[in-house]
Amino acid sequence: MNPTKRTAKWTFLAGITAGLLIVLPLTQAIYSKQKNSYTIIKDKFEVMTQILNFVNQLYYDEVDMEALMNGAFHGIMEQLDPHSIFISAEDIKSIDENFRGEFQGIGIEFDILNNYITVISPVIGGPSEKAGIQAGDWIIEIDGESARGIKRDDVYKKLRGKKGTRVDLKIGRIGVDPFEVTIIRDDIPLYSVRASVMLDNRTGYVWLTRFSTKSGPEVRQAISKLLGRGMKRMVLDLRNNSGGILEQAVAVANIFIAEKDTLVYTRGKNKEAEQVFIAAPQKGNENFSVIILINRGSASASEIVAGAIQDLDRGLVVGETSFGKGLVQRQAGLRDGSAVRVTIAQYYTPSGRLIQRPFKNGDYADYYRELYEENREEKLDSLKKLRPPFTTRGGRTVYGGGGITPDIYIPWDLDITAATRKIMTNPNRPLFNWGAAFVRNNLGISDDYWDFQHSWNLPADALDKFLAYTKEEGLEIDIEETMQNRAYLETMIKSEIAGAKWGRDELWGIRITADNQVMNAIKHFNKANAFLAENE
C-alpha cells in the first residue's frame, strides 16, 4: 500500500476516534437516565475502532473509507425507524434546496427533447418569462457554445448561477429565425402549489405537491385568487404529496379552520419535542366547503392536514387511505457537511389519532411493499376492528394506526391502452411539441380561457394530424389501439394547447377533466356542504 495513502487513512481514523472521544461526554449526559447506555456506546466505539483497524491493515484491496463509514451511518439509522436517515454531504445541498423552496437561475421548466434544452414552461414572473421566452422554445447556444446534446446535469451547471449574473442564449422557435437573448439570473421559487384553477363557476381546485417553507402562503394566495373568481367550494389535492415541514402543514390546515381548535400535537421523549398547534381563528375561513383528495402516496404533513379537516368535521376526505406516517423528524447537521434526520416525536390528529402504520425495526420491505398491494383498501378495511377508534368533533368514528381512511373511497382508474401509454410516456413529449406548434399556427384561438375551457373543441381532424405527426417523428404505435382512447387523447391535446397558450394552471384545468378521482370527488359536495351547515 502507498505510504501516503496509509498515513491519510490513519489520519482519517484518528480524526474519527478523536471526534468520538469529544462526543462521549455529551452522550453520557444524554443517556444518563438510561442504565448501561453509556457503557454500551463506549464499548461499541472501541469495537468499531478495532474493525476499522482490521479493515485498514488486512483487507486485500484499497478501501474507500468515507463510503465505508457512510454505510455504517446508514446502518445505524436504519435500526431506528423507516424515516430516520443519514444524508451524505453530497446529497444535503439538493435536499435543503428542495425544502427551502427557491434557487437562483433563469427560471424555466425544461426537458431534453431532440437533443436540445426545450422550454416546457417559463416560471411565472421569472427572468425567462420577462425576457419573452415561451413554451416550446429550445436553447441552441449557451454563452456562445452549442447546447446540442447537453446532459441534464450540465444544464443546471450552465443555467443556474448567482443572482445578478448574466447568461447569453441563442433561442430556436418554430416559424422565426434563431435569435439571441440575454437573461439576468434571479431568485427562482420552487412552487409547492402545482396548479390552482376554477373548474366551473363555483368549484376551485388547488394541487399542493409538497410542504416547503412557503407552502402556507402559497395555498393562501391560491385560495384568495379563486375566491376572487367566485369560488364557493374547493378541492385540495394532496395526492402523492409526501409531506415536508410540520409548521407549514399547520399553516395550511389553519386556512380552513376559523375556531380555536387543536390542529395537531406531538409527543416525544424530550419535552422540547412536545408541541400543541392551535388554530388562529383570524387566519381561518369557513365560508366555503372543502374536499381533501388523498391517496396512498399522501404522507406526513399531508396526513396532518387531512386529519385535522376530518377530525374537526370541516370537510370531506375522499380518495384512498393515505400512507400512514405519524413520525416527526428533525435534521441535524454534522461536522463534515452531512446530516442525520432523526425521529424526535410522534404526531397526533385533533381526536388523538396516531396514524403511523406498524413497522419492524431494521426490516422495512413489508412496510413499503404494502403500499403497492392491489387489494390494499380491502385489507385495511378488514383490519379496522384491530385499530383504535376515535371520535370526530361531530361524533363520527375514525381510526388510528393506519393512515387517514377517506370518508368516501374513490380508487384511481385510468384505463388506457399500451399504445396510448406509449405516447404519454415518450421522452420526446410529442403531445407537448404538437400542442405548442398548434398554438403558433392557430392564432385565432380565443384569448378567453373560460370560453376555451367550456366551449372550444379540437378540430375534427386534430387527433388524426397528431397521430400522423407521431409517425413522422418515428414513434411506432398501433393507431387502431390508440383510437380506443380517442376522448382521453383529445383531452390531453387540448390541455397541452391550454398550457402553451396560458400556462400551467390552465393546462391542469383541462387535464383534470380526465381524472376520475377529481371528477368523482366533485359529485360528493353535498356531503361536504353539510359540514358547513353543522358548524354554523
CATH of the domain at 371: 3.90.226.10
Query: What's residue 364's pLDDT?
Result: 75
Q: What is the mean pLDDT of residues 128-142?
A: 87
Asked whether 323 and 371 are in contact (CB, 8 A), the reply is yes
pLDDT per residue as tens digits for the range 417-452: 999 988 988 878 899 999 999 998 988 898 999 999
Among the listed residues 443, 427, 436, the one whose alpha carbon sits nearest the alpha carbon of residue 499: 436
* Annotated catalytic residue, options 84, 128, 300, 495: 300
What residue type is assigned to position 222 of the chain?
A: A
State the total domains in the chain: 4
Query: What's residue 535's pLDDT?
Result: 67
- Distance from C-alpha of 49 to C-alpha of 55, rounded to nearest angstrom: 10
Same domain, 168 and 198: no
- Give the DSSP letter of residue 395: S
pLDDT per residue as tens digits for the range 170-199: 999 877 889 999 999 998 877 889 999 999
264 has a pLDDT exceeding 90:
yes
pLDDT per residue as tens digits for the range 493-520: 999 999 999 988 999 999 999 999 999 9
Query: Domain ends where: 412, 432, 454?
Result: 412
| Domain with 185 in it | 102-189
Same domain, 178 and 138: yes
Where helices occur in 332-375 by DSSP H, the ranges are 365-369
pLDDT per residue as tens digits for the range 64-123: 888 888 888 888 888 888 888 888 887 777 676 656 656 789 988 888 877 899 887 787
Answer yes or no: 300 catalytic.
Answer: yes
19 has a pLDDT exceeding 50:
no
Same domain, 335 and 459: no
Answer yes or no: 37 catalytic.
Answer: no
Q: How confident is the model at residue 133 (pLDDT cuts 50, 70, 90)?
A: confident
Residue 94 falls within a domain, yes or no? no
Query: What's residue 266's pLDDT?
Result: 95
What is the pLDDT of the chain when averaged over all its residues?
A: 87
Q: How confident is the model at residue 7 (pLDDT cuts 50, 70, 90)?
A: very low
Asked whether 207 and 237 are in contact (CB, 8 A), the reply is yes
Query: Domain ends where: 189, 207, 240?
Result: 189
Same domain, 216 and 263: yes
Pairing of strands 186-189, 102-105: antiparallel
Query: What's residue 102's pLDDT?
Result: 66
- Distance from C-alpha of 416 to C-alpha of 412, rounded to nearest angstrom: 13
Same domain, 231 and 363: yes
Residue 200 falls within a domain, yes or no? yes
Query: What's residue 37's pLDDT?
Result: 82
What cell does 189 get? 421559487
Q: Directed axis angle between helix 430-441 and helix 486-501, to 10°?
A: 60
213 has a pLDDT exceeding 60:
yes
Q: What is the mean pLDDT of residues 134-143?
A: 89
pTM of the predicted protein model: 0.81
Residue 535 falls within a domain, yes or no? no
Among the listed residues 227, 190, 209, the one whose alpha carbon sits nearest the alpha carbon of residue 98: 190
Same domain, 205 and 159: no
Query: Domain ends where: 127, 154, 189?
Result: 189
Same domain, 50 and 130: no
* Annotated catalytic residue, options 137, 186, 237, 311: 311
pLDDT per residue as tens digits for the range 304-332: 999 999 999 999 999 999 999 999 988 88
Residue 522 falls within a domain, yes or no? no
Among the listed residues 381, 379, 369, 370, the one whose alpha carbon sits nearest the alpha carbon of residue 405: 381
SS3 104: strand
Same domain, 273 and 335: yes
Same domain, 255 and 334: yes
Answer yes or no: 325 catalytic.
Answer: yes
Dihedral (CA of 88, 367, 381, 350) sign = negative
Q: For residue 129, give the CATH number of its domain.
A: 2.30.42.10
Residue 532 falls within a domain, yes or no? no
> Which of the residue ranges 10-14, 140-144, 348-352, 470-474 would you say has the lowest mean pLDDT?
10-14
Same domain, 275 and 364: yes
Residue 448 falls within a domain, yes or no? yes
Same domain, 430 and 348: no
Same domain, 310 and 294: yes
Query: What's residue 399's pLDDT?
Result: 93
Q: What is the mean pLDDT of residues 191-211?
A: 94
Q: What percent of the chain has pLDDT over 70?
A: 90
Asked whether 517 and 240 are in contact (CB, 8 A), the reply is no
pLDDT per residue as tens digits for the range 268-304: 988 888 999 999 999 999 999 999 999 999 999 999 9
Residue 82 falls within a domain, yes or no? no
Residue 534 falls within a domain, yes or no? no
* Annotated catalytic residue, options 9, 325, 494, 501: 325
